[in-house]
Chains A and B, each alone.
Chain A
Amino acid sequence: MVKDAPIELTEDEAQLYDRQIRLWGLESQKRLRCARILVVGIQGLGAEVCKNIILGGVKAVTMLDHENVTEEDLCSQFLAPTTAVGKNRSAASLERAQALNPLVDVKVDTENISDKTDEFFTQFDVVVATNCPVKELLRLNAICRNADIKFFCGDVFGFYGYFFADLQIHEYSEEVTVAKAVKPQTNNNKKQKIEEEKVTRKGSSIFVPLHDVLDIDWTSDEYKQKLSKMDSTFFLVRILQCFRSEVNRNPKAASIESDIELLKSIRDKELAKMNVNTDKVPDSLFQMVFAQLSPVCAIVGGVLAQEIIKTVSQKDAPHNNMFFFNPNNHLGQIFCLGN
Chain B
Amino acid sequence: MGEMATAAGVLGADLHNKVNNSKILVVGAGGIGCEILKNLVLSGFKDIYIIDLDTIDVSNLNRQFLFHKQHVGKSKAMVAKESALKFNPNVSITAYHDSIISTEYGVNFFKQFNVVLNALDNRVARNHVNRLCLASGIPLVESGTAGYEGQVELIVKGKTKCYECSPKAPQKSFPGCTIRNTPSEPIHCIVWSKYLFNQLFGEEDGDEEVSPDTADPEAAANAGESAMATDANEKGNVERTSTRSWAQSNDYDPEKVFTKLFHDDIKYLLSMADLWKERRKPSPLIWSSIPEIANNGQSTGQGLKDQKVWSLKECVEIFSESCRNLSAQFKKLPEGDHMVWDKDDVDSMNFVASCANIRAHIFNIQRKSRFEIKSMAGNIIPAIATTNAIVAGLVVMFALKVLQEELEKCQCVYVRSKPNHKLQQIVPEKYLSPPNPKCAVCSPKPEVTVRLDVNKQTVKDFVEDVLKKSLNMVAPDVMLMPSGSIIISSDEEEMDISRLALTLADCNIIDGSMLEVDDFLQNYNLTVKIKHREPGRDDPLFDVIADPDLLKPTEEAESDKNGSKNGEGDAKGYEDDDDDLIMTVDDEQLVIPGSSSTKRKVEEEASVPVKKRRTGNSNEMLATPVEDDDDIAIIE
Binding site for B on A (CB under 8 A): 8-9, 11, 14-20, 22-23, 26, 44, 48, 51-52, 55-57, 71-76, 78, 81-82, 99-102, 158-159, 177, 179, 185-188, 252-254, 256, 287-288, 290-299, 301-303, 305-306, 309, 316-317, 319, 323, 325, 327-336
Give the Cβ gap from B333 to chain A, nearest Cβ, in Å.
Answer: 27
B364-375, CB under 8 A of A: which get 1 and which 0? 000000010001
B8-37, CB under 8 A of A: which get 1 and which 0? 111110000000000000000000000100
Q: Which of B279, B371, B400, B618 contacts A177 (CB 8 A)?
A: B618
- Answer yes or no: B306 CB below 8 A from chain A CBs: yes
Give the Cβ gap from B107 to chain A, nearest Cβ, in Å.
Answer: 29
Q: Is A16 touching B302 in the complex (CB atoms < 8 A)?
A: no
- Answer yes or no: B112 CB below 8 A from chain A CBs: no
Instruction: List 26 A-B residue pairs with CB atoms under 8 Å apart, sorted by A's residue number.
Output: A8-B302, A20-B62, A20-B63, A20-B382, A22-B375, A22-B382, A52-B385, A55-B62, A55-B65, A71-B3, A186-B280, A188-B279, A287-B12, A295-B394, A299-B394, A302-B385, A303-B425, A309-B386, A316-B418, A317-B418, A319-B419, A319-B425, A332-B427, A333-B423, A334-B425, A336-B423
Chain A, Cβ-Cβ closest to B398: A330
A82–B3 Cα distance when bound, in Å, is 9
Binding site for A on B (CB under 8 A): 1-3, 5-12, 35, 38-39, 42-44, 58-59, 61-63, 65, 68-69, 86-89, 147-148, 184, 278-280, 300-307, 371, 375, 380, 382-390, 392-397, 400, 409, 411, 413, 415, 418-419, 422-428, 579, 618
A residues within 8 A CB of B7?
75
Q: Is A71 touching B10 in the complex (CB atoms < 8 A)?
A: no
B residues within 8 A CB of A82?
3, 86-89
Q: Is A293 touching B43 in the complex (CB atoms < 8 A)?
A: yes
Q: Is A11 touching B88 in the complex (CB atoms < 8 A)?
A: no
B residues within 8 A CB of A252?
9
In the complex, given contacts A298-B38, A305-B389, what are 11 additional A-B residue pairs having Cβ atoms less than 8 angstroms apart?
A8-B303, A11-B304, A17-B62, A56-B386, A72-B9, A73-B6, A75-B7, A82-B88, A299-B397, A331-B426, A332-B424
B residues within 8 A CB of A305?
385-386, 389
Chain A, Cβ-Cβ closest to B422: A333
Give the Cβ gap from A87 to chain B, nearest Cβ, in Å.
Answer: 16
Q: Is A74 touching B42 in the complex (CB atoms < 8 A)?
A: yes
Give the Cβ gap from B328 to chain A, nearest Cβ, in Å.
Answer: 24
Q: Is B35 touching A298 in the complex (CB atoms < 8 A)?
A: yes
B residues within 8 A CB of A319?
419, 425
A residues within 8 A CB of B279?
186-188
B residues within 8 A CB of A177?
618
Give the Cβ gap from A301 to chain B, nearest Cβ, in Å.
Answer: 7
Q: Which of B184, B304, B397, B415 contacts A186 (CB 8 A)?
A: B184
A295–B141 Cα distance when bound, in Å, is 15
Q: Is B390 touching A9 in the complex (CB atoms < 8 A)?
A: no
B residues within 8 A CB of A102?
69
A91–B393 Cα distance when bound, in Å, is 26
Q: Is A75 touching B43 in the complex (CB atoms < 8 A)?
A: yes
Q: Is A333 touching B425 in the complex (CB atoms < 8 A)?
A: yes
A residues within 8 A CB of B424?
331-334
Q: Is B9 touching A291 in the complex (CB atoms < 8 A)?
A: yes
A288–B401 Cα distance when bound, in Å, is 14
A71–B88 Cα distance when bound, in Å, is 12
Q: Is B10 touching A290 in the complex (CB atoms < 8 A)?
A: yes
A residues within 8 A CB of B278?
186-188
B residues within 8 A CB of A20?
62-63, 382, 384
Nearest 10 A/B pairs, CB to CB: A253-B9, A332-B426, A298-B393, A302-B389, A302-B390, A299-B393, A188-B278, A294-B42, A295-B396, A295-B393
A302–B152 Cα distance when bound, in Å, is 15
Give the Cβ gap from B290 to chain A, nearest Cβ, in Å.
Answer: 24
Give the Cβ gap from B610 to chain A, nearest Cβ, in Å.
Answer: 24
A residues within 8 A CB of B44?
75
Give the Cβ gap from B303 to chain A, nearest Cβ, in Å.
Answer: 5
Give the Cβ gap from A257 to chain B, nearest Cβ, in Å.
Answer: 13
Q: Is B390 touching A303 in the complex (CB atoms < 8 A)?
A: yes
A residues within 8 A CB of B422?
333
Give the Cβ gap from B428 to chain A, nearest Cβ, in Å.
Answer: 5
Q: Which of B38, B280, B307 contacts A294 (CB 8 A)?
A: B38
Q: Is A294 touching B387 in the complex (CB atoms < 8 A)?
A: no
A294–B42 Cα distance when bound, in Å, is 6
A287–B42 Cα distance when bound, in Å, is 19
A23–B419 Cα distance when bound, in Å, is 18
A8–B385 Cα distance when bound, in Å, is 23
Chain B, Cβ-Cβ closest to A78: B87
A87–B388 Cα distance when bound, in Å, is 30
A residues within 8 A CB of B409?
328-330
Q: Is A185 touching B184 in the complex (CB atoms < 8 A)?
A: yes
B residues within 8 A CB of A52?
385-386, 389
Q: Knowing A19-B62, A302-B390 touch, does A330 contact B397 (C-beta < 8 A)? A: yes
B residues within 8 A CB of A9?
303-304
Give the Cβ gap from B257 to chain A, nearest Cβ, in Å.
Answer: 28
Chain A, Cβ-Cβ closest to B89: A82
Q: Which of A26, A78, A187, A331 contacts B307 (CB 8 A)?
A: A26
A residues within 8 A CB of B425?
303, 319, 323, 332-334
Give the Cβ gap from B362 to chain A, nearest Cβ, in Å.
Answer: 14
A181–B387 Cα distance when bound, in Å, is 34
A114–B63 Cα distance when bound, in Å, is 33
B residues within 8 A CB of A292?
10
Give the Cβ gap from A330 to chain B, nearest Cβ, in Å.
Answer: 5
B residues within 8 A CB of A73?
6
